[in-house]
Amino acid sequence: MSSELPGLNQQQTAALRELAELRNFDGLPKEFWPRYLGSLAGLASASAAVLLVQDPARSVAWKRVTEWPAHLAPSRFLAAFHGQLDSFAADCLKNGGDLLALLEPGPSKAAGHYVVASRLRLHRASEVCVAASLLSEVSEPTARESLLRLHLAADVPESYQMHQAVRQSDGDVQKLAVAHDLMVAVNAEKRFLAAALAFCNGLATSFGCERVSLGWLEGGYIRLRAISRTEKFDRKMAAVHSLETAMDEALDQDEEIFWPAPEGTAGVTRDHARFAKEHSAGHVCSLPLRLDGKAVAVVTCERQDAPFTVTEVDQLRLCCDQAIRRLADLHRSNRWVGARLAASWKELFAVMLGPKHTWAKVTALLVVILLAVLFFARVPYRVEGNFVLKSDDVSFRTAPFDGYLEEVFVRPGDAVKAGDKVLKLATRELELEELAALADLGRFQREAEKARATNGLAEMRIALALADQSKARLELVRYRLAEATLKSPFDGVVVEGDLRERLAAPVKQGDALLKIARVENLYVEAEVNERDVHDIFDRQRGEVAFVSQPKLSFPVRIVKLEPAAFPRAEGNVFLVRCEFEKGVEKWWRPGMSGLCKLNVGRRTLWWILTHRTVDFLRMKLWW
């Protein structure tokens, strides 16, 4: 007998069975949706299918969740289908939840490529999900029949989500039941050790653990207090020490620790791994017990059969959160009189300095400390002022004659050596004058020889005088040719004169073209406001920081204080000359600026904060 349903082929029958199973599927959503989309594609006999979701509350864009099949050879129809998915999904919503659209006519009039889409029903109505399928070379009645099948299967996601919600509710009820049963056993005990043992026994029974241990924070370290199904144990045993070390590892990190560690775990599990190896523990789970947000104990569970699931860990956390308050109260009350008295005094001091009066006491204490620091603490005080780096050895290179700039070899900031070329004036006209002067000199010398040969004394003297005149003019031209190339008189740095844009421009004799300064003898010229100048008398030291390198400071020594003030926009200033104590750095250049701080001794913080205001009031009120 055939297993196919009437009117359906084998693929569609298998898809129906798959959809029936998916209604009560227990797996994760990432496993459900690919299987569901594949079943829809098989039910509709589609060549491709895509699942799209949209959250109208956050965005209007459509997001593709999954596609079927995962790998499909590219084609023109598939590209057109994927390119119009957003518009198909939007049209599906506009048409009431179903869409039948012709993508492209087929080779025959009776068949074509159709797109069918249906809105899926979800447990949360705010979410919108659409399944779109591509039908290749089918007739319109066949496409309509496929759309009807999609519509009938659109409630499967809602059934799956409701099934998941029911399972979650059952799990929550089970968690509460386990926690309730455990708390009944813990609350029935009046002593801490008995309650701790009941707590460990209850966890071991509920979660199938071979051993459950409870450690309590005492003196900064975890001390083992109870082991399931064990009333007494030797604290000097190596197993106890190893277990306490593993508990300390969980307490220090204040996180649940699992061994073997799941993938992606960032916590440290070294001590747990050593404990599991030494005592052949298959699976270990340690959870900190927190009281008022602070970890005060650790429970460690061991079992061989299977690792602890996420649901079990949640149940363990719920049980620990429910039991920690009762266990902490018993631990506090079941101690000898001295320990209880010490705890009472500790709580009393906590009340006096704790949260009940914290703000008032902390405020008063801070005010006292602040006033003491303001009036009695003396800190170094320094006077500030802007400074400029200067040099006394400066040379201006001027134009030796009227001419034109031909070449510039340097720019501001370049280092030069003595004798280096810095610029050159045009010498074309001077070279022509030199040739003319040479020609005139030769001509006048020949005329003098001719006059001497004819005994023409007067003509000879005239020719010799003209020859001397030509010789003098020749020497002047040659001197200018020698001076046409300007050179540096010493080792230094070009600080002024950017002539690169003035090439071929005329210059006059005596025009200052470049300024060269030595860098070996740089000094600081600081400007100190006249209201602070009286503080630096008889002071010798300070520091400077450059604008270009504010993270570096250099010690300086005061050399000279100018006796006269100079007016500035912000007020009168005195110039203070300072020298560097540790020499000159290679990267320093004349004209650099920064901030100079000169030491004036130690002052109280109150004086530093108020002396400006006091001086202002004295000037206004004539104190």
Residues carrying CATH 3.30.450.40, the chain: 10-154, 186-334
**Domain 10-154 coded CATH 3.30.450.40:** yes
The fraction of the chain above a pLDDT of 70, given in percent, is 94
Whole-number pLDDT of residue 2: 44
CATH architecture, domain 186-334:
2-Layer Sandwich (3.30)
What is the pLDDT at residue 485? Answer: 82
What per-residue confidence (pLDDT) applies to 526? 92
What pLDDT is recorded for position 165?
Answer: 85
Which stretches of the chain drop beneath a pLDDT of 50? 1-2
Cα–Cα distance measured from residue 115 to residue 134, given in angstroms and rounded to the nearest whole number: 5
- Domain 518-621, CATH among 3.30.300.130, 3.90.870.30, 2.40.30.170, 3.30.300.90: 2.40.30.170
- Where do the DSSP E strands lie in 460-553? 485-487, 492-496, 506-507, 512-517, 522-529, 541-546
> What pLDDT is stored for residue 49 in this prediction?
92
Q: CA of 114: how far to CAs of 48, 75, 103, 142, 150, in Å?
A: 11, 15, 5, 10, 14
Cα–Cα distance between 43 and 22 in angstroms, integer?
A: 14
Could you tell me where in the chain the CATH 2.40.30.170 domains are found? 518-621
pLDDT at site 262: 84
